[in-house]
Amino acid sequence: MAIATINPATGELLKTFEPLSDAEIAAKLDLAQQAFDSYRKTSFESRSLWLQKAADILEQEKSEFAKLMTLEMGKPYKAALGEAEKCAQVCRYYAENAAGFLADTQVLTDASHSFVRYQPMGVILAVMPWNFPFWQVFRFAAPALMAGNVGLLKHASNVPQCALAIETIIQRAGFLSGVFQTLLIGAAKVADLIADDRVKAATLTGSEPAGASLAAAAGKHIKKTVLELGGSDPFIVLESADLETAVSFATTARMLNNGQSCIAAKRFIVVEAIADKFEKLILEKFAALKVGDPMEPDTDLGPLATPHLLNELDHQVQTAVKSGAKVLTGGHRLSHRPGNFYEPTIITDIPPGSPTEQEEFFGPVALFFRVPDIDVAIKVANATPFGLGASAWTTNEQERDRLIEEIEAGAVFINGMVKSDPRMPFGGIKRSGYGRELSIEGLKEFVNVKTVWVK
Ligand code: NAP
């Protein structure tokens, strides 16, 4: 895949970038290692000041960064502004809390003095996706840098200008040179980086094949990985739910980021008693969505990020139809305009056992399942290879407790949509990956947990 900026709303090629040569990659690895040798000795106070400065830059120049995101991957501009603000938030969160989270933990043993110390690991490689081109990177970088690690970013090939902008923000914030570097390289170079002695661990957010390939390379060299992969999150609505609110959130949670979020509500699972009402209301909401230029302030749904994603999504929809599923609304690309636009779509009557039931739809397409009761709702919710998030709507306490206990996922949200929050861990189980980002758990993924025993 070429490293280039192509406007997804028009298809126009705006800028191409030469990938780094092997010699340039080697020089950046050397710089990263040298940077680590000094950076690991800096105090939490200094790191915290630099990270707060990065937060200031993100806030002050959010409109520039938002334009870049929208230009390169097509998210609505208003959402891109929110993304820049959220990056500032995660920087401030770790700037304020990392020192406390990583303080020595005293433990009583047979020693005169024993404790646990948390030390940085070194150069960490982050392989990141285009869908939240700033947020995905900052939620890795903020904890990693506060812990004293240094970062190398291999960003998705369709967001090179975002990748370079992030490197600049971190440099301008005052971090030592080489503490965070962007590598403009293709995916084929990742395995060599993992094999390099200077790289100590890696994190990848993206598809299952990419995650499996990175983890295999890391396994060969016995290096730790964190994987945040795909999801097909259920959105369960039970009879006691506040239906209007649930439908509103179902629409937002499916269409967020033009439908390209790992934690989007991809499967609406609704009990039969209220399914007709839900269907009527959700069709109204989908019909009211404004599809169009993502730079316009009132646009709800912009284009998909690449033509490849558009083709893949359309293929999935047509395959579903061929297998006997029914399209309630949408089901086509928007052919009257350039760019990678797809209609807001709902598919129902999905034949049991068909591939459609199991797949992730990465775009504005919802799967709608009618179920007789909570037992079947939970069964359907768990019947995918994924386990990232789940949203469930009920006002009944016993139902709530069962949903929390029985849903197989890294997160369960009751009467709310799944979202990430710097204060709470984020990650999945099953084929959605392993490890956690954000909160204290995310901070401790890339540290040496050292046992110290003194007599
Ligand atoms: P992708 O193809 O896997 O790309 C993600 C990153 O991995 C890019 O930087 C890509 O580089 C790189 N990559 C691709 N193949 C690789 C390989 N074999 N080895 C090493 N690196 C490789 O992901 P996508 O399909 O664009 O993104 C959508 C997927 O990401 C969805 O499944 C979505 O659910 C998931 N996602 C998960 C989370 C989460 O937190 N769990 C968040 C966002 C997205 P190139 O661009 O150069 O190919």
Q: Output the domain CATH number for residue 104.
A: 3.40.605.10
Query: CB neighbours (10 Å) of residue 219?
Result: 11
Q: Per the confidence metrics, is the pTM higher than 0.95?
A: yes
pLDDT of residue 335: 83
Q: Specify the number of domains making up the chain.
A: 2
DSSP character at residue 379:
H
Which residues on adjacent β-strands are paired with residue 271? 371
5-46 tens-digit pLDDT: 999 999 999 999 999 999 999 999 999 999 999 999 999 999
**Which residue is it, tokens 């092997």?**
22
| Domain co-membership, 93 together with 197 | yes
pLDDT-derived band at 169 (thresholds 50, 70, 90) equals very high
> Are 309 and 253 in a shared domain?
yes
Cα separation, 232 vs 228, in Å, equals 13
**CB of 228 shorter than 6 A to ligand 1:** yes
Q: Quick one: DSSP state of residue 350?
A: P
Domain shared by 311 and 392, yes or no: yes
Do 225 and 298 fall within a single domain?
no
pLDDT tens digits, residue range 227-259?
Answer: 999 999 999 999 999 999 999 999 999 999 999
427 belongs to a structural domain: no
Return d(Cα 198, Cα 183) in angstroms, integer.
15
Confidence of residue 1 (pLDDT cuts 50, 70, 90): confident
The answer as to whether 198 is a domain residue is yes
Residue range(s) defining the domain that contains residue 53: 4-229+432-454
Ligand 1 touching residue 225 (CB < 6 A): no
Q: Are residues 96 and 176 in the same domain?
A: yes
d(CA 206, CA 257): 15
Domain for residue 352, yes or no?
A: yes
**Closest CA relative to residue 179, chosen from 158, 152, 161:** 152
Same domain, 217 and 237: no
pLDDT attached to residue 314: 98
Q: Using an 8 Å Cβ cutoff, are 333 and 235 in contact?
A: no
Residue among 163, 338, 364 at smallest CA distance from 260: 364
115 assigned to some structural domain: yes
Considering the domain architecture, whether residues 178 and 290 belong to the same structural domain is answered as no
User: Exposed/middle/buried for 204, CB within 10 Å: 0-12, 13-18, 19+?
Assistant: buried
Work out the burial of residue 418: count CB atoms within 10 Å of its CB; fewer than 13 is exposed, 13-18 middle, 19 or more buried.
Answer: buried
**Cα(287) to centroid(ligand 1), Å:** 31
Catalytic site includes residue 228: yes
Q: What ranges in 40-173 are assigned the alpha helix state H?
A: 44-60, 62-73, 77-101, 135-146, 160-172
Mean of all residue pLDDT scores within the chain: 98
Rounded distance between C-alpha atoms, residue 47 and residue 397, angstroms: 44
CB-ligand 1 contact for 216 (6 Å cutoff):
no
Q: Are residues 199 and 281 in the same domain?
A: no
Average pLDDT on 59-81 reads 98
Report DSSP letters for 157-225, one per residue: TT-HHHHHHHHHHHHHTTPPTTSEEE----GGGHHHHHHSTTEEEEEEES-HHHHHHHHHHHHHTT-EE
Q: Label residue 336 by pLDDT band (50, 70, 90).
A: confident
Q: How far apart are the first and last CA of the chain?
A: 58
Same domain, 140 and 271: no
Contact, 328 vs 283, CB < 8 A? yes
Domain assignment of residue 426, yes or no: no
Q: Are 310 and 73 in contact (CB under 8 A)?
A: no
Ligand 1 atom at shortest distance from the alpha carbon of 158: 46
What are 218's strand-pairing partners?
Answer: none
For residue 297, the domain's CATH number is 3.40.309.10
Shared-domain flag, residues 11 and 112:
yes
Ligand 1 atom closest to residue 426's alpha carbon, by position in its atom list: 40
Residue of 262, 357, 399, 445 marked catalytic: 262
Q: What is the pLDDT of residues 188-211, one digit of tens each?
A: 999 999 999 999 999 999 999 999
- Is residue 192 a contact partner of residue 38, using CB atoms and an 8 Å limit? no
Kindly state if the Cβ of 129 falls inside 6 Å of ligand 1: yes
Query: 87 an active-site residue?
Result: no
In short, whether 1's Cβ falls inside 6 Å of ligand 1 is: yes
Q: Are residues 301 and 415 in the same domain?
A: yes
Using CA positions, which residue lies closest to atom 34 of ligand 1? 230
If you ran DSSP here, which 8-state letter would residue 257 be given?
G
Can you spell out the DSSP letters for 355-376? HHHH----SSEEEEEEESSHHH
On whether both 223 and 261 belong to a single domain, the answer is: no
